């Protein structure tokens, strides 16, 4: 019997593959790696590319990953795939955007307070009208 | 007959409200199923990455990452995950109450708090509170993606790396079951590895490619992101469940009010008829 290793490929949003394999190929950061069962423990980043899993019946499954992490234990290979292409400057831009959104919305809060004040005033006016109405009915 | 016109129009308007709440209940029920599936779909990733972090904690890396080191706490960061919309019972207010009691505890210990908010409700609440807001994201819809929340996490992670904050927590609702949602505060940084795996003991280490620092950096960032993302999808499922329950009780209440009003209406109508008959009889007797 040939040796096999358990492979899990997951992304943050769903599970992609889980099963036994004879060999796994992945685009590690320092070049493509082929992993056989009982490989030494290794952790590496992945580049965008193709992950190929050679299943137990010689079938080859192929998945595209846009980067991620590869963890190897002697009897377990885990691939954590990213859901989108990530780069330092893209992350940076996202962070700046999040900050800007908070500041912008905070600056906009004056408008919200006005809205609340207006609502309170409207409420008051309605109550006054209703009281007037009641007084008129009683009088008439 | 002109009896009880007001009552009839009132009944009509409550019936309309009931129609709306019933429709909302059904929409929430079907959305809940989908959001729950999505919540379950994210579990494998967070479980796997949790395992790797645990393995790492047992390995003997030559490099100690700042995310793993405890330091004295002077300022903490929290990420609050709330819903975008209301009409979901006490879901958000319970969460905010829990957050506030935590903030007050920190306040008593002279620890300052930076807040990042996900969802308009949290933003409105903490904005009014004049909390120190450092990041915000909202309107992620029913299918949030991981890249939607990268920004605010990066804000917090940078603050931690620069030493501006000494701890990072995430506050969100935990989905216990359809009827119960539990607000929880979870500590993200410094990373706590959890209990260790017996099988892996011994003196060993990973081969790191390209090197330990970069790999750990990358992995820990992903780890935090996955926990926050998990919280987000879980909160979504909670929102739909809470809305379903709230709308169900609203529909039931509307039904009760309608039947009470109907009773009053019938009594008034009967009284009017009786009165009319007695007037006619009295008139006939007088002739």
Here the CATH number for the domain that contains residue A12 is 2.60.15.10
pLDDT at A130: 73
**What's the Rg (C-alpha) of chain A?**
30
Residue B185 has pLDDT above 70, yes or no: yes
Residues from chain A contacting residue B127 (CB–CB below 8 Å): 105-106, 109, 112
Report the distance separating Cα B238 and Cα B91, nearest Å: 8
Q: Which of A94, A108, A114 has the highest number of chain B CBs within 10 A, making it the mutation to test binding with B? A: A94
pLDDT at B145: 86
pLDDT at B69: 82
Residue A61 has pLDDT above 80, yes or no: yes
Percent of the residues in chain A that have a pLDDT greater than 70, as a whole number:
83
Q: Are both A67 and A124 inside the same structural domain?
A: no
Inspect the interface and report whether the beta carbons of B49 and A11 lie closer than 8 Å.
no
On whether the CB atoms of residues A9 and A63 are closer than 8 A, the answer is yes
Residue A7 has pLDDT above 90, yes or no: yes
Q: Are both A79 and A108 inside the same structural domain?
A: no
**A92 touches B: beta carbon within 8 Å:** yes
Q: Which among A18, A99, A105 is the nearest to B134, CB-wise?
A: A99
Range scoring the smallest mean pLDDT among A95-99, B76-80, B97-101: A95-99
pLDDT (tens digit, 9 = 90+) per residue, B76-87?
Answer: 999 999 999 888
Q: What is the band of B2 on the pLDDT scale with cuts at 50, 70, 90? A: low
Inspect the interface and report whether the beta carbons of A44 and B133 lie closer than 8 Å.
no
Q: Which one of A52, A71, A87 terminates a domain?
A: A87
Q: How far is CA A110 from CA A15, A113, B39, B239, in A?
A: 45, 5, 37, 29
Inspect the interface and report whether the beta carbons of B215 and A45 lie closer than 8 Å.
yes
Residue A59 belongs to domain spanning: 5-87
What backbone torsions phi and psi does residue B142 show, to the nearest 5 degrees? -85, -20
To the nearest 10°, report the CA torsion of A14, A17, A19, A25. -140
Mean pLDDT score across all residues of chain A? 81
Task: Scan for tokens 């609502």, then name that residue.
Answer: A119
Question: Does the interface predicted TM-score (ipTM) exceed 0.90?
Answer: no
Q: Which of residues 6-45 of B touch A (CB under 8 A)?
A: 38, 41-42, 44-45
Which residue pairs from B266-275 have beta carbons closer than 8 angstroms and sit at least 24 positions apart in sequence? B268/B3, B268/B4, B268/B7, B269/B1, B269/B3, B269/B4, B272/B1, B272/B3
Q: Are both A73 and A11 inside the same structural domain?
A: yes
Whole-structure pTM value: 0.82
Mean pLDDT score across all residues of chain B? 88
Q: What is the CATH number of the domain that holds A131?
A: 1.20.5
Q: Are both A70 and A28 inside the same structural domain?
A: yes
pLDDT at B86: 84
**A80 touches B: beta carbon within 8 Å:** yes
**B98 touches A: beta carbon within 8 Å:** no
pLDDT at A115: 60
Report the distance separating Cα B149 and Cα B45, nearest Å: 16
pLDDT (tens digit, 9 = 90+) per residue, A99-124?
Answer: 887 777 777 655 555 565 666 667 67
Q: Which of A98, A99, A108, A114 has the highest number of chain B CBs within 10 A, making it the mutation to test binding with B? A: A98
Q: Are both A30 and A72 inside the same structural domain?
A: yes
**A105 touches B: beta carbon within 8 Å:** yes
Q: Are both A75 and A116 inside the same structural domain?
A: no
Q: Are both A83 and A45 inside the same structural domain?
A: yes
Q: Are both A9 and A70 inside the same structural domain?
A: yes
Residue B248 has pLDDT above 70, yes or no: yes
**A136 touches B: beta carbon within 8 Å:** no
Q: Are both A30 and A65 inside the same structural domain?
A: yes
Q: Are both A13 and A76 inside the same structural domain?
A: yes
On whether the CB atoms of residues A72 and A79 are closer than 8 A, the answer is no
Q: Which one of A87, A110, A129 terminates a domain?
A: A87
Q: Are both A25 and A80 inside the same structural domain?
A: yes
Inspect the interface and report whether the beta carbons of A43 and B219 lie closer than 8 Å.
yes
Relative to beta strand A31-35, strand B132-137 is unpaired
Q: Are both A42 and A100 inside the same structural domain?
A: no
Distance between start and end Cα atoms, chain A: 102
Domain count for chain A, please give it. 2
pLDDT at A119: 65
Higher pLDDT, B62 or A70: A70
């Amino acid at each position: 019997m040939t040796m096999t290793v358990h492979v899990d490929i997951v992304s943050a949003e769903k599970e992609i593959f889980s099963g036994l394999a004879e060999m796994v190929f992945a685009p590690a950061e320092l070049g493509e790696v082929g992993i056989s069962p009982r490989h030494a423990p290794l952790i590496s980043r992945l580049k965008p590319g193709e992950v190929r899993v050679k299943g137990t019946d010689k079938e080859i499954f192929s998945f595209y990953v846009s980067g991620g992490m590869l963890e190897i234990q002697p009897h377990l290979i885990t691939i954590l795939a990213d859901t989108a292409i990530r780069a330092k400057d893209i992350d940076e831009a996202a962070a700046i955007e999040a900050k800007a959104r908070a500041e912008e919305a905070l600056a906009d809060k004056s408008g919200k307070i006005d809205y609340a004040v207006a609502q309170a005033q409207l409420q008051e006016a309605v109550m006054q009208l209703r009281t007037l109405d009641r007084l008129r009915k009683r009088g008439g | 007959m002109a009896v009880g016109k007001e009552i009839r129009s009132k009944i009509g308007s409550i019936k309309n409200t009931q129609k709306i709440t019933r429709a909302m209940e059904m929409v929430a029920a079907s959305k809940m199923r989908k959001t729950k599936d999505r919540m379950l779909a994210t579990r494998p990733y967070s479980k796997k990455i949790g395992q790797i972090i645990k393995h790492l904690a047992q390995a003997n890396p030559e490099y100690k990452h700042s995310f793993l080191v405890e330091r004295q706490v002077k300022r903490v960061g929290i990420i609050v995950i709330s819903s975008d919309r209301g009409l979901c019972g006490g879901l958000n207010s319970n969460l905010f109450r829990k957050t506030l009691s935590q903030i007050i505890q920190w306040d008593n210990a002279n620890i300052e708090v930076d807040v990042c908010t996900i969802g308009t409700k949290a933003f409105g609440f903490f904005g009014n509170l004049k909390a120190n807001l450092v990041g915000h994201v909202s309107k992620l819809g029913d299918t949030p993606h991981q890249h939607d929340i990268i920004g605010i996490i990066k804000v917090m992670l940078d603050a931690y790396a620069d030493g501006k904050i000494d701890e990072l927590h995430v506050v969100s609702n935990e989905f216990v079951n359809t009827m119960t949602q539990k607000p929880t505060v979870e500590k993200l940084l410094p990373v706590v590895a959890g209990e260790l795996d017996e099988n892996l003991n011994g003196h060993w280490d990973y081969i790191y490619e390209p090197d330990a620092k970069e790999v750990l950096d990358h992995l820990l960032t992903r780890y935090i992101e996955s926990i926050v993302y998990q919280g987000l999808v879980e909160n979504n499922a909670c929102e739909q469940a809470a809305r379903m329950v709230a709308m169900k009780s609203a529909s039931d209440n509307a039904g009760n009010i309608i039947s009470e009003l109907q009773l009053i209406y019938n009594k008034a109508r009967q009284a009017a008829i009786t009165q009319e008959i007695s007037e006619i009889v009295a008139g006939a007797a007088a002739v």
